[in-house]
Amino acid sequence: MTSSTVLFLGLAILCWGLSAFFDKLCFRHFPGQAQAADVFMVRLALTILLLAVPVAARWTSVCSAASSAARMGLFWVGASVITAMSGVYFYLVAMSGAEASKIVPLSSTYPLVTFLLAVAFLGEGFAVSKLVGTLFVCLGVFFLSR
């Protein structure tokens, strides 16, 4: 990995860690017994508002990229958005009902799903070391959450 890849990976980890921390704080600071659906919808609305400006600023390039993409490319973008947002919703439901220190690590076992799908459908190489490494990560996460 290049140093810039490592830097951006580190920034992503930092942002995701802070995001989970802020997610848990949401449930303490919303009125009454905030439901995960309420937090999800407020989060979604704020995301739309915050992203409207950069999308508008690059609207020509967004339209160009979308129009030049194959139909299946647009399908996969849609599938990615739907599954990612569904995951956020389900994660918030789980987060509202249990400790962040348990939910966040357990929700971080998704690399096993990605690994299996990438090997099965994307033609990525299978290596026992990749499988064992992924399983160790998931096992470590399991022990952290106990």
Residues 94 and 134 in one domain: no
Residues 67 and 134 in one domain: no
Residue at which a domain ends, from 98, 121, 137: 98
Q: Does residue 146 fall inside a structural domain?
A: yes
Q: Does residue 41 fall inside a structural domain?
A: yes
Q: For residue 85, what are the domain limits?
A: 3-98
- The pLDDT, as a whole number, for residue 105 is 84
Percent of the chain with pLDDT over 70: 97
pLDDT digits (tens, 9 = 90+) for 4-40: 998 998 888 888 888 988 988 888 887 666 688 888 9
Domain count, the chain: 2
User: 44 CB contacts (<8 Å, ≥6 apart)?
Assistant: 85
Report residue 140's pLDDT band, with 50, 70 and 90 as the boundaries.
Answer: confident
Long-range contact list for 109-115, CB < 8 A, 24+ apart? 109/137, 109/138, 109/141, 109/142, 111/137, 111/138, 112/137, 112/138
pTM: predicted TM-score of the whole model, two decimal places: 0.81
Query: Once rounded to an integer, what is the mean pLDDT over residues 109-113?
Result: 85
Residues 42 and 79 in one domain: yes
- The pLDDT, as a whole number, for residue 90 is 93
- The pLDDT, as a whole number, for residue 28 is 81
